[in-house]
């Protein structure tokens, strides 16, 4: 599985709901987790591997690997926090992003079972970052224009969108 990087327009598309959670999808989720581990990342969303479906995988240190299918963010904390983010699709760029500290999310797992969970800290951070990918949003979009342009200039790419 190849991870698409900034400039590939699939990263800017909106992912479609997963219609059926079957063995094929479970296989894809496993491959996404492999790609995530290989890339030493903490989260990976469908569009990042060219799959325009609402699925992402997350694996943060000290936690189990998690698969989210057709997720909805039901609630977010009013409290916002700043934390440094990077992205396998925007290699070599890290920047502080402000997001809610905690959230509640509803999704389906790879066995087709719905679940609801609460997350905070790094897990919440990664979930929100991955959810953005399903909407075609990258973490650099959440920076000020000036900061984004400076980072991208450093990266040697033209500004996207």
Q: Nearest approach, Cβ of 78 to Ni ion (angstroms)?
A: 25
| 15 lines the binding site for Ni ion (CB under 5 A) | no
Cβ of 143: how many Cβ atoms within 10 Å? 20
Residue with tokens 């079957």: 22
Question: Is 130 considered catalytic here?
Answer: yes
Q: Nearest approach, Cβ of 75 to Ni ion (angstroms)?
A: 22
Q: Nearest approach, Cβ of 16 to Ni ion (angstroms)?
A: 19
Ordered alpha helix ranges (H), 58-156: 121-134, 145-155
| 87 lines the binding site for Ni ion (CB under 5 A) | yes
Q: Count the residues of the shown chain that bind Ni ion, applying the rule CB under 5 A.
A: 1
Distance, CA of 3 to CA of 13 (rounded, Å): 15
| 11 lines the binding site for Ni ion (CB under 5 A) | no
Q: Which is nearer to Ni ion, 5 or 19 (CB)?
A: 5
| 35 lines the binding site for Ni ion (CB under 5 A) | no
| 152 lines the binding site for Ni ion (CB under 5 A) | no
Distance, CA of 36 to CA of 28 (rounded, Å): 12
| 143 lines the binding site for Ni ion (CB under 5 A) | no
Name residues whose C-beta falls within 8 Å of residue 118's C-beta, 6 or more positions apart in sequence: 102, 103, 104, 105
Q: Which is nearer to Ni ion, 6 or 25 (CB)?
A: 6
Q: Nearest approach, Cβ of 1 to Ni ion (angstroms)?
A: 15
Name residues whose C-beta falls within 8 Å of residue 49's C-beta, 6 or more positions apart in sequence: 1, 2, 3, 4, 31, 32, 35
What does the block give as tokens for 3? 């991870």
| Residue with the CB atom nearest Ni ion in the bound state | 87
Residues that bind Ni ion (CB under 5 A): 87
Residues with catalytic annotation? 130
């Amino acid at each position: 599985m190849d991870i698409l990087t900034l400039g590939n327009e699939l990263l800017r598309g909106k992912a479609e709901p997963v219609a059926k959670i079957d063995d094929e999808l479970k296989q894809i989720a496993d491959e996404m987790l492999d790609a995530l581990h290989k890339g030493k990342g903490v989260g990976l969303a469908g569009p990042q591997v060219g799959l325009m479906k609402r699925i992402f995988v997350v694996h943060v240190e000290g936690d189990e690997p998690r698969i989210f299918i057709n997720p909805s963010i039901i609630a977010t904390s009013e409290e916002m926090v700043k934390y440094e983010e990077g992205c396998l699709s925007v290699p070599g760029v890290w920047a502080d992003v402000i997001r809610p500290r905690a959230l509640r999310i509803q999704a389906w797992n790879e066995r087709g079972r719905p679940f609801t969970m609460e997350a905070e800290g790094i897990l919440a951070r990664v979930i929100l970052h991955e959810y953005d990918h399903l909407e075609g949003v990258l973490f650099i979009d959440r920076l000020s224009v000036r900061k984004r342009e400076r980072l991208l200039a450093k990266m040697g790419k033209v500004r996207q969108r």
